[in-house]
């Protein structure tokens, strides 16, 4: 997003690491101008109105993209496709269940949430996350290629990488 805003993330921005519990304090003290973290922390930080969300995996062009992909060893796909398929199906079922039953999903997660996050806050998060979006096949390959294109923008991947070929290489259809 920094690159797309016209800045060079390697020369125009100074990245600093802070221990997770100190991220919000770093902004409050002026030691950082922005933070990047995940839920539930970011959700809680936005609740008090002192911080503003610039971007997330649920905004703009990312709102319609998969946020998480599970990777497994190539040998598992080749040698035990049934287990790989079982993992994929279990995750799809869990995502759908969480989308359809956000309060129950939140109650299940509450004991494992960092800090003291209420079940009500976790329910709100479960309702606004995109648990129904799980592309497969060519649709998922297109999304993988889009992410690879963006990684080229920040020099994680070489500019010469053929992102369609990359997506074909890393994708495995374990459900057919």
Average pLDDT for residues 55-81, to the nearest whole number? 89
**Nearest CA among 102, 87, 69, 37 for reference residue 170:** 69
Is the pLDDT at 16 greater than 80? The verdict is yes
Per-residue model confidence as pLDDT tens digits over 129-149: 877 788 999 999 999 999 999
What are the structure tokens assigned to 167, written together?
Answer: 């997506």
- Using alpha carbons, list the distances in angstroms from residue 114 to 67, 98, 107, 124: 21, 19, 14, 16
Query: What pLDDT sits at residue 76?
Result: 96
Query: What pLDDT sits at residue 113?
Result: 87
How far is residue 175's CA from residue 136's CA, in Å, rounded to a whole number? 9
Q: Residue 85 burial by CB count (10 A; 0-12/13-18/19+): exposed, middle or buried?
A: middle
Is the pLDDT at 36 greater than 80? The verdict is yes
- Using alpha carbons, list the distances in angstroms from residue 169 to 17, 22, 141: 33, 39, 10
Query: What pLDDT sits at residue 143?
Result: 95
pTM for this predicted structure: 0.82
Per-residue model confidence as pLDDT tens digits over 70-122: 889 999 999 999 999 999 999 999 989 988 999 999 999 889 888 788 899 99
Task: Please state the domain extents for the chain.
Answer: 20-170
What distance separates the 2 farthest-apart alpha carbons in the chain?
53
How far is residue 149's CA from residue 18's CA, in Å, rounded to a whole number? 29
Confidence of residue 56 (pLDDT cuts 50, 70, 90): confident
Percent of the chain residues past pLDDT 90, beyond the cut: 58
Please give the DSSP secondary-structure letter assigned to residue 5: T
Mean pLDDT of the chain: 91
What are the structure tokens assigned to 87, written together?
Answer: 């993992």
């Amino acid at each position: 997003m920094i690159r797309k805003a016209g800045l060079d993330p390697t020369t125009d921005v100074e990245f600093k690491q802070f221990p997770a519990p100190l991220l919000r304090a770093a902004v409050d003290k002026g030691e950082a101008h922005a933070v990047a973290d995940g839920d539930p922390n970011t959700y809680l930080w936005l609740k008090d109105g002192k911080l503003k969300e610039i971007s997330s995996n649920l905004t703009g062009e990312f709102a319609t993209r998969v946020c998480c992909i599970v990777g497994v060893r190539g040998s598992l796909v080749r040698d035990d496709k049934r287990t790989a398929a079982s993992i994929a199906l279990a995750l799809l079922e869990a995502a759908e269940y969480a989308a359809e039953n956000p309060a129950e999903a939140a109650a299940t997660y509450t004991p494992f949430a960092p800090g003291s996050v209420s079940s009500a806050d976790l329910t709100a998060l479960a309702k606004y996350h995109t648990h129904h979006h799980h592309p497969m096949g060519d649709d998922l390959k297109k999304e993988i290629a889009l992410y690879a294109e963006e990684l080229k923008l920040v020099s994680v991947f070489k500019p010469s990488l053929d992102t369609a070929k990359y997506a074909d290489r890393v994708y495995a259809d374990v459900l057919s």
